[in-house]
Amino acid sequence: MSDHLAKAQEFEKKAEKKIKSWSLFGSRYDDAAELYAKSANHFKLAKSWDRAGSLYVILSDCHLKIISMKLPLLVLMLQTVTRKLQTKDIEATTSANQCKLKVAQFSAQQEQYQKAIEIYEKIARQSLNINLLKYGVRGHLLNAGLCQLCRGDVVAITNALERYENLDLTFSRTREYKFLADLATTIEEEDVTKFTHVVREFDSITRLDPWKTTLLWRVKEALKAKELEEDDLT
C-alpha cells in the first residue's frame, strides 16, 4: 500500500510540473491528464479515496481545457456524421451516437446535467430497437442516472429509475440499476458513509472510469455539505 502511495505522489508531482510547462497546441494538458489519472489510480489502490477523488476533479478540469481547444473540430465531426445519417444504416447511427455521447460527457463535466441526461436517454431508447446496440443500453441509462444524482433531486431520481424500468424491462435486474437505486437511497437518507460503501462495492467489481468517479465525487461533496449544514443548525 505504501508503494502505491509513493507512486501516486510521484505521478502527481510530475503532472503538476507538466501543467506549468510550455508546449504547443495544449499537449501539456493531455500529458498532465495521463499523469493525474495514474496518480489517482494509485491513490485508489492505496485506499486513499479522498485524494483520488480530488485528483479526478483536477483530471476533469484538464479534460475541459482539452475539450475547449478541440470543441470546434468535435462540432464539425458531429455535423459531418449527421449528414451521413441520411444515407447510411446502423454504421452511421453508431458513429453519430459516439459523437453525441462525447457531447453528453462534456456537458456533464460542465454541470449541464439535463442536456447530458436527454442525450443518454434518447440514445438508450434508439438502441433498444437495434439488436447490435442493445448491449449498450444499460451503460447509457447508468450514465443518465449518475447525471440525475448530480442534480440532487430525490424525487426526480426515483421517477427516472421508474422510467428506465419501463424503457428496458431487463434493466431492473442489472448491477447498474441496483447501484443507482442504492445511491438514491443514501442520498435520501443523507448518509455519506453508506454512499461511500456503495460506491466502493460497485467499483470493486466494475471499475469506475474517471468520468463516473468525478460525478460521484460531486454527489458525495454535496452530501457532505448538507450534512455539515444540518450539524450547524443543531
Give the per-residue SS3 of the chain.
CHHHHHHHHHHHHHHHHHHHCCCHHHHHHHHHHHHHHHHHHHHHHCCCHHHHHHHHHHHHHHHHHHHHHHHHHHHHHHHHHHHHCCCCCHHHHHHHHHHHHHHHHHHHHCCCHHHHHHHHHHHHHHHCCCHHHHHHHHHHHHHHHHHHHHHCCHHHHHHHHHHHHHHCCCHHHCHHHHHHHHHHHHHHHCCHHHHHHHHHHHHHHCCCCHHHHHHHHHHHHHHHHHHHHHHHHC
Q: How confident is the model at residue 133 (pLDDT cuts 50, 70, 90)?
A: confident
Residues 44-72 pLDDT 10s = 898 888 888 888 888 888 878 777 776 67
- Look up residue 11 and give its three cell numbers: 505521478
Question: By C-alpha distance, which of 46, 4, 50, 45 is closest to 196?
Answer: 50
CA distances from 92 to 98, 132, 171 (A): 10, 13, 26
Q: What is the pLDDT of residue 209?
A: 94
Residues 69-112 pLDDT 10s = 766 766 777 777 766 654 468 776 788 888 999 999 999 999 99
- Whether 142 shows a pLDDT value over 50: the answer reads yes
Q: What CA–CA distance (Å, rounded) separates 19 from 180?
A: 35
- Look up residue 100 and give its three cell numbers: 453525441
Q: What CA–CA distance (Å, rounded) separates 231 from 121?
A: 37
User: Average model confidence (pLDDT) for the chain?
Assistant: 86
- pTM listed for this prediction: 0.69
Q: How confident is the model at residue 170 (pLDDT cuts 50, 70, 90)?
A: very high
